[in-house]
Amino acid sequence: MEELILRQIVILFVLSILVVLVCHRFRLPSIVGFLLTGVLCGPSALGLVPNEEVVDIMAEAGVAFLMFSIGMELSSRELVRLKRPLLLGGSAQLLLTVGMVFLLSFWWSGVRLAIVYGCMVTLSSTAIVLSLLQQKGQTESPQGRVCLAVLIFQDLAIVPMVLMFPLLGGDMALDYQSMALAVGKGLLVIGAILAFGKFVLPRVMFSVVSVRSRELMYMTVLGLCLAVALLTSQVGLSLALGAFLAGLMLAESEYSLNTLESIMPFKEVFSSIFFISVGMLLDVRFFASHIFLVLLCAAAIVLVKIAAVLPAIRLLRYSMRTALLTGFSLAQVGEFSFVLARSALGFELISNEAYQIFLAASILTMVLTPFLLDAAPRVAGFVLRKPSGNTALAAMDDETPDAAGYEEKGIVRDGRLLKDHLIIIGFGIGGQLLARGAKKSGIPYIISEMNTDTVARFRDTEPIRHGDASFPLVLEHLGVPTARTLAILISDPAGGRAIISNARAMNPALHIVVRTRFLSRINSYIELGANEVIPEEFETSLEIFARVLNHYLVPRQTIDSYIVSIRRENYGMQRQLDMGGAIMESLPNLQLSAFTVEPGCALDGRTLGDVGLRRRYGLTAAGVRRGESIDNSPRADTRLEAGDVVFVLATAEALAQASALFCAPAPAEDAEAGVQA
């Protein structure tokens, strides 16, 4: 028996490797390869895996580990912030989907069957959606957060659905006391799990970590994940929800990074087996003989689910673009729908033929999901390319104060946005830091944010508006035509590209700064019109580089020169353009920077001529600001004083070498340490 199980696992692994390699050659997602592997291994095709029970167990473990890792990336505070999309958006999506399916099917199937079909269709695949969002780095995007909230609500809705099917089948009388007892038991278990995570788990983890045994850490994490998942399954909830709660508990622990590291290899392997197990359910012969009916059902499911998600997400005041992206993400049928379908078949609510058609159509929607996610930004861009005034204004929060509300903050005057202001797109950590700096520097700014909770939290303290900045009309309301700088700090690459393109068309002189996660995306943003692109992975690496060298007491000027050289080398490679085979370099990289003359520095009390900024250091003083007055044409006899702001034009190298001129001398202790180093 053990040898047979091992042989089946080896067959699954070897065949999946071959199929995924072929899919990679044709640029198909890995998930499609795993689903095709399951179809080939299934009993209706090659029949290589006769014992499907082992595969099903491993598949359930894969979903559990996936949800555990998702919970690890959140925290209870962030989950509370998701309460509105979870409760309002999730319930609206479920009711709208069930209602649409009911209206489409009750006239030929009856009321009972229409409700059954609605329940089976409304669930989406947690494993597929979250896996794809993780691969695309979109879990923190607006559509990623909304998808997570809706999927969690669907997991919670499984309990009443499971209780409803025996009632619809006539095998159980309607007993409100039993239903209330089941729901109360589920809530009690969830509360007990969360209480255990808050009061008991920290002590357990401290004891485990104190032993300093990696093996013990692995066993503890795996045991906790599977134990909580099993506990929730015993009370009628899903394994996935239990694993998610276990991850949420450990996310609050200071040992969460080690915990996540220990679970990742298991998650990847077992979640891949889940997709294989789904493919094994497909009856190839039935699919071939009913292909047109299956295709029709799959298309109807996708269209109905997208149509149901759109108003549900718009109800949360998210933009139409976010609603479209979310709708395409949740357009497939979920893995737990198969459990409901089996239950419906067991209670004779549906026929075997209807079961097979639903199964084949559901698997087809799963196969289409990666392609739907890839097509979603293009479809949203096409639909919203020429929005009407009403459509674009619908992307703005109805409760946002009008222009007069921003007059006190210096943003709007006489109904028009002031010139030379800063526009911040996205108000996460980066946006908040930028707004704080702009406020201290007296720079007028305005903020656009798509998260309604964030807008509500900062509405009384910041000039913030809710809206989708990919709309041209929204950009006009933010004052792009008269703005000086646009800072894009969102985690949505497709949305960022749309904002850059529209903003550049509206204001050719606008200075656009974009944040991106990866260095490889610099070229695409530059080609669309961005002036500066800051890749997180590269700048984070530079910061680590600088801190490590600083720890070894390498002089700051030396570190700065290294960083300038690395930046020039890497950004330069990304910005080279191939013009007829020749590499065209840009003109000398002159930059205009501002320095404050600190008390006691080398420039304090001296004239520009005495210092020799241009002759000795390659710096050209373009202006000097003292208090409220600005000297736009400083001369050689202009004397600098502490507190003056000097505007300097020079290359990046010259700025790095000469920045020490404006800084106050280091304390004696630091100077001695620098000499010893």
Give the pLDDT band of residue 170 (cuts 50, 70, 90).
low
Sign of CA dihedral 400, 468, 424, 389: negative
Amino acid at 479: G
State how beta strands 464-466 and 445-449 pair.
parallel
State how beta strands 422-425 and 590-596 pair.
unpaired
pLDDT at position 400, please? 37
Query: pLDDT tens digit string along 445-477?
Result: 899 887 777 887 888 888 888 777 887 777 877
Residue whose C-alpha is closest to residue 63's, from 279, 274, 362: 274
Give the pLDDT band of residue 259 (cuts 50, 70, 90).
low
Residue 482: Cβ-neighbour burial (10 angstroms; 0-12, 13-18, 19+): middle
Give the pLDDT band of residue 571 (cuts 50, 70, 90).
low
pLDDT at position 389, please? 43
Mean pLDDT of 642-655: 82
Q: Output the CATH code of domain 2-45+53-383.
A: 1.20.1530.20
Selection from 207-216, 222-231, 242-251, 654-663 with the highest mean pLDDT: 222-231
620-626: strand order across its sheet: 590-596, 645-651, 620-626, 629-631
Q: Decide which of 634 and 402 is more confident.
A: 634
Residue 223 pLDDT exceeds 60: yes
Query: pLDDT tens digit string along 538-561?
Result: 777 777 877 787 776 677 777 777
- What would the two tokens of residue 165 be? 């099917």
Q: Which of 47-61, 294-308, 512-526 has the lowest mean pLDDT?
A: 47-61
Query: pLDDT tens digit string along 188-203?
Result: 877 888 788 778 887 8
Q: Which of 220-234, 313-327, 647-661 has the lowest mean pLDDT?
A: 647-661
Q: What is 393-579's CATH number, 1.10.10.10, 3.40.50.720, 2.60.40.10, 1.10.3720.10?
A: 3.40.50.720
Mean pLDDT of 135-161: 79
Q: Which residues of 334-373 are buried (b: 16+ CB within 10 A; e: fewer)?
A: bbbbbbbbebbbebebbeeebbbbbbbbbbbbbbbbbebb
Q: Which of 176-180, 328-332, 646-650 has the lowest mean pLDDT?
A: 176-180
Fold match flag (393-579 vs 588-676) = no
Angstrom distance (rounded) from CA 41 to CA 51: 11
Residue whose C-alpha is closest to residue 197's, from 76, 69, 82: 76
Domain ranges of the chain: 2-45+53-383, 393-579, 588-676
Q: Decide which of 100 and 532 is more confident.
A: 100
Residue 302 pLDDT exceeds 90: yes
82 φ, ψ (degrees, to nearest 5): -90, 5
Residue 335 pLDDT exceeds 70: yes
Q: Output the CATH code of domain 588-676.
A: 3.30.70.1450
348 φ, ψ (degrees, to nearest 5): 60, 35
